[in-house]
Amino acid sequence: MEMLDNTVALVTGAGQGIGRGISLALAAEGTAVAVLGRTTSKLDDTVTTIRERGGTAVAITADVTDPDQIEAAVAKTVDQLGGLQVLVNNAQEFNFGTLLDIDLALVDAGWRSGPMATLQFMRAAHPHLRGRGVIINLSSGAVLDSDPSGIGAYAAVKAAIDALTRTAAVEWGGDGIRVNSVMPFALTPATQAAFDANPGELEHMPGSVPLGRVGDAEVDIGRAVAFLCSDAASYITGTSLVVDGGSSYLR
């Protein structure tokens, strides 16, 4: 018996990278997954992979910065999969740059796709999660970095997500809802783009990780999320789990 049999999850930003990895890992443990994102072709690929492995999944094309689409996505998940026990807020626009140079439009997009979307999804999902629900919000080790130069705006939105996570854990604990955040480090299209912009960095990166490798979105991050969603983690709430091979401890 898989540890998440008879559960339904909604994962945002699930067409690629960490969101895809989380979706695959949850499905492997018996969860029916609604994979949400903006690019239908990427979502269809994730759904196809899950189904080929024997799992259940549906694709929901939506923009997480649109409150009406958020409400519709939650309703569609419940309608098509029969309920909702797990919400994973992963979608996020990246907003890198120094404080004096960063485009404020990027900053705004970061806030709308990050903390605002996270809060709106949590509120929309709350009635369905009551009793035995789990919320996982994706944070970042950037929040822990002693020198966030060039990523300060990104770190700020992730710090806000951590604050929402802790608040929801306290306010909704009596409703039977656990809320945690995960700070991952894995090779994804976004991290690969950052490495491509800084040639040679990827070669040296494993040396800064005590475990000596860059994480895998499904095996390392996805399985950690699946654990947090399971009854094995039923006494864990309001915390941030760092899943980065130990690299945060070197900052």
Give the CATH number for residue 77: 3.40.50.720
Q: Could you read off the pLDDT of 40-56 as tens digits, one per residue? A: 999 999 999 999 999 99
Residue 58: inside a domain: yes
Asked whether residue 119 carries a pLDDT value surpassing 70, the answer given is yes
Asked whether residue 196 carries a pLDDT value surpassing 70, the answer given is no
Residue 2: inside a domain: no
Three-state helix/strand/coil letters over the chain: CCCCCCEEEEEECCCCHHHHHHHHHHHHCCEEEEEEECCHHHHHHHHHHHHHCCCCEEEEECCCCCHHHHHHHHHHHHHHHCCCCEEEECCCCCCCCCCCCCCHHHHHHHHHHHHHHHHHHHHHHHHHHCCCEEEEEECCHHHHCCCCCCCHHHHHHHHHHHHHHHHHHHHHHHHCEEEEEEEECECCHHHHHHHHHCCCHHHHHHHHCCCCCCECHHHHHHHHHHHHHCHHHCCCCCCEEEECCCHHHHC
Q: Which residues are catalytic?
A: 154
Least confident of 12-26, 123-137, 186-200: 186-200
**pLDDT of amino acid 201:** 54
* Residue 247 pLDDT class (50, 70, 90 cuts): confident
Residue 247: inside a domain: no
Residue 251: inside a domain: no
Least confident of 139-153, 210-224, 237-251: 237-251
Q: Could you read off the pLDDT of 69-102 as tens digits, one per residue? A: 999 999 999 999 999 999 999 999 988 899 999 9
Cα angle at 248 between 113 and 194, to 5 degrees?
50
Residue 48: inside a domain: yes
Domain span including residue 223: 7-241
Asked whether residue 197 carries a pLDDT value surpassing 70, the answer given is no
* Residue 136 pLDDT class (50, 70, 90 cuts): very high
Residue 174: inside a domain: yes
Residue 228: inside a domain: yes
Task: Provide the number of structural domains found in the chain.
Answer: 1
Asked whether residue 130 carries a pLDDT value surpassing 80, the answer given is yes
Residue 103: inside a domain: yes
Asked whether residue 1 carries a pLDDT value surpassing 50, the answer given is no
Q: Could you read off the pLDDT of 201-211 as tens digits, one per residue? A: 555 566 678 89
Can you tell me the distance from the alpha carbon of 128 to that of 78, in angstroms, rounded to the nearest whole number? Answer: 8
